[in-house]
Amino acid sequence: MSQLEQELKVLIIDTLELEDMTSEDIDSNEPLFADGLGLDSIDALEIGVAIQKKFQIKLDANSEDNKKHFQSISSIAKFIESNQ
Amino acid sequence: MVDISFYIEHWFAWAPGLNSLPEWKEWAMGSREILPEGQADVKFVPPMQRRRFSRLTKMSLLAANQANTVGDNVITIFGSRHGEFHRTSQLLESLIEQEPLSPTAFSMSVHNTASGLYSILTGNKQPSTSIAAGVQTLEQCFIEAYGWLKSEESDRVLVVIADEPVPGNYEQFIDYQEYSVAAAFLVSLNKPNDEPARKANLKLTSCSATLKCSEMPVLSLLRLMLSENDDCQVINGNSNWCWKSELQN
């Protein structure tokens, strides 16, 4: 697991107030939404805001690609790396 | 002239440090105080749902859950003078700092947050009203409840009152000492058969009362509910609403 993935897990747990959860509980390749971790659309927005704040990345709210980028921790990490 | 009477079948109140009836009795006698900090425990809500709840939402839902002994199909009224003002205040501070707003905080900052979440959690499809009426919030909630009861839409109405101290910047606008307090009351027009209940009477008046209080109105009402006397009355010193209560066996 990369350092960035680890950072993202901690960011998501803190931002979404996932009480009782640690970064070990999140699999980098597991889907974040619906059947995976069980996050919902408000969480998606919240993660978007947190990532923009922390990594100074611009997200296009209407982009179809967002769904792909936000699939899992590892896909978010790849997205951030390719935009820095 | 408003002059209404109803029964309070059940009630439950929570404040930091006051979780049970014996603790509230100690508070009424002056031997226990409301603590400045504390969170209501809402373990009955699944973790993924409760993680977004504010302190105020948690207090409201705990009180509603504990006072509602009649199941999920009850008309509800949620009253709060300030509502989710801490959320709003944080959002305003983010705007000042030109930071992006938290979508969660935004979606949970409305006045009917607790009302909406309670109906989702319990699957309650009955009408629900959220009220803010300044220092008269408590009384206006019971007037609303009385209206529902008189309309014969429901035998019982659940009234939930919750507030917490305003954020520091706003303290200068507040006329009485504020605490985090949530209380819920199950009210009906008819006396429940099998147990003693308090009949409450609410009247807009200038009558002299044994107790004229300039404290959070809900605390005055709780003093009445906790009174050792069979008959008692209290005036909400902020609005001149007179509460009377009589214990009926």
Residue B81 lies in a domain: yes
Predicted confidence (pLDDT) per residue in B96-150, tens digit? 999 889 999 999 999 999 999 999 999 999 999 999 999 889 999 999 999 999 9
E strand or H helix that includes residue B188: strand B181-188
Tell me the domains of chain A and their CATH numbers.
3-83 (1.10.1200.10)
Residue B87 lies in a domain: yes
Mutation to test the B interface, candidates A26, A33, A45, most B Cβ within 10 Å: A45
B102 vs A: CB within 8 A = yes
Of the candidates B105, B123, B91, B128, which has an alpha carbon nearest to the alpha carbon of residue B57? B105
Whether this model's ipTM surpasses 0.90 comes out as no
Instruction: Look at B104 and A38 and tell me if their CB atoms are within 8 Å.
Output: no
Domains held by chain B: number: 1
Residue B217 lies in a domain: no
A57 vs B: CB within 8 A = no
Residue B236 lies in a domain: no
Residue B218 lies in a domain: no
End-to-end CA distance of chain A: 19
Residue B212 lies in a domain: no
Interface of B with A in 127-166 (CB under 8 A): none
CATH of the domain at B84: 3.40.47.10
DSSP, collapsed to helix, strand or coil, labels residue B57 as helix
Predicted confidence (pLDDT) per residue in A4-60, tens digit? 999 999 999 999 988 778 899 899 999 999 777 889 889 999 999 999 889 988 888
- Greater confidence (B98 vs A84) lies with B98
B107 vs A: CB within 8 A = yes
Instruction: Please compute the mean of the pLDDT values over residues A55-66 and round it to a whole number.
Output: 83
B125 vs A: CB within 8 A = no
Residue B247 lies in a domain: no
Distance from CA of B91 to the nearest CA of A (A): 14
Strand order across the B75-79 sheet: B128-131, B75-79, B156-163, B181-188, B3-14, B197-204, B241-248, B231-236, B212-213
pLDDT band at B82 (very low <50, low <70, confident <90, very high): very high
* pLDDT score at B142: 95
Among all residues of chain B, which has the CA nearest to that of A58?
B100
Instruction: Look at A16 and B51 and tell me if their CB atoms are within 8 Å.
Output: yes
Instruction: Look at B103 and A49 and tell me if their CB atoms are within 8 Å.
Output: yes
* pLDDT score at B86: 95
* pLDDT score at B36: 92
Residue B200 lies in a domain: no
* pLDDT score at B209: 53
Can you give the residue range of the structural domain that contains B184?
10-193
Is the Cα torsion angle A37, A40, A44, A45 positive or negative in sign? negative
Instruction: Look at A49 and B52 and tell me if their CB atoms are within 8 Å.
Output: no
CB contacts < 8 A, A to B, total 26
